[in-house]
Structure 1
Amino acid sequence: MNELTLSTLLAVFEEMFGRHLFWGLVIACTIIAFLFIYVIIRDNKIEAKRLVRAELWAPVGAAIGIAFVFFITSSNFADIGGPIDVIVLILIAVAGAVGMTILAYIVQSLSSSQKS
């Protein structure tokens, strides 16, 4: 592999996760992103109370992200071999934490708007 292209990345991710799971995750992330944009536009701001409560879910999201990748790749912590593995693991944890924070914010915002 001499160059890294989008089609190469798509093929690698489809091979690693499976075609249905990968595209299901892409669709889920797209829906969540549009919901977040909708909530921000609807409220015209990011509400601090909701954001702080949503951030409490970040460690859960980090743990779920790491567990998910370990499950999909049939790996465990003993398979971590070098610095790049640790960096990738940290990036996975950060992505899971951010994703769970956004999801928690969306759930809070949409559930509170239904009560009023």
Structure 2
Amino acid sequence: MEELTFGTMIAVFEEMFGRGLFWALVVAAALVTGFYLYVLIRDRALSMRKFLVAQIAMPFGAVAAVVFVLAITNSTMRDLGGPVDLIVFLGIAVMGAVGAAILVYAVQSLVRRKQAV
């Protein structure tokens, strides 16, 4: 792998997760992002109460993302080979945390309507 292209990255992720699971994750991420954008456009404001609850969910999302990747790839924490692996796992944790926050905020907004102030 001499060049790091978008197609190469997709091929690596398909190999890691399997073609079906990878594309299911892409579709799920697109749906959650779409729901989040819909809620922001519909409400025309960011609810700080919902945002706080969403932030509380972030550590759980980070841990869930790391555990998910470890389970799917049949790896353990002992398999970390160096600083690059640690950076990748921190990136996975950050993406899981942000994804959990977006999901929780969107679900809260879809389940509960905007409260009158």
**Same fold, TM exceeding 0.5?**
yes
Give the equivalent residue in structure 2 for 1:100: 100
Give the equivalent residue in structure 1 for 2:31: 31
> For the residues of structure 2 that align with 1:8 and 1:50, how far apart are their CA atoms?
38
Give the equivalent residue in structure 1 for 2:43: 43
> For the residues of structure 2 that align with 1:100 and 1:40, how far apart are their CA atoms?
16
> For the residues of structure 2 that align with 1:115 and 1:27, how far apart are their CA atoms?
31
Give the equivalent residue in structure 1 for 2:62: 62
Structure 2 length normalisation: TM-score?
0.93
TM alignment of 1:75-114, pairs within 5 A: 75-113=75-113
What root-mean-square deviation, in Å, do the aligned CA atoms of Structure 1 and Structure 2 show? Answer: 1.6
> For the residues of structure 2 that align with 1:73 and 1:49, how far apart are their CA atoms?
37
> For the residues of structure 2 that align with 1:9 and 1:88, how far apart are their CA atoms?
14
Distance 1:106-1:98 versus aligned 2 partners, 3 A rule:
same
4+ runs of 1 displaced by more than 6 Å?
Answer: none
Structure 2 spans left out of the alignment, 5+ residues: none
> For the residues of structure 1 that align with 2:9 and 2:47, how far apart are their CA atoms?
36
Give the equivalent residue in structure 1 for 2:21: 21
Aligned length: 116
Shift of 1:10: 1.2
- Mean Cα deviation higher: 94-103 or 76-85: 76-85
SS of 2:113's equivalent in the other structure is helix
SS of 2:112's equivalent in the other structure is helix
Q: Percent identity?
A: 47
> For the residues of structure 2 that align with 1:48 and 1:103, how far apart are their CA atoms?
15
Structure 1 length normalisation: TM-score?
0.94
Give the equivalent residue in structure 1 for 2:10: 10
Shift of 1:45: 1.2
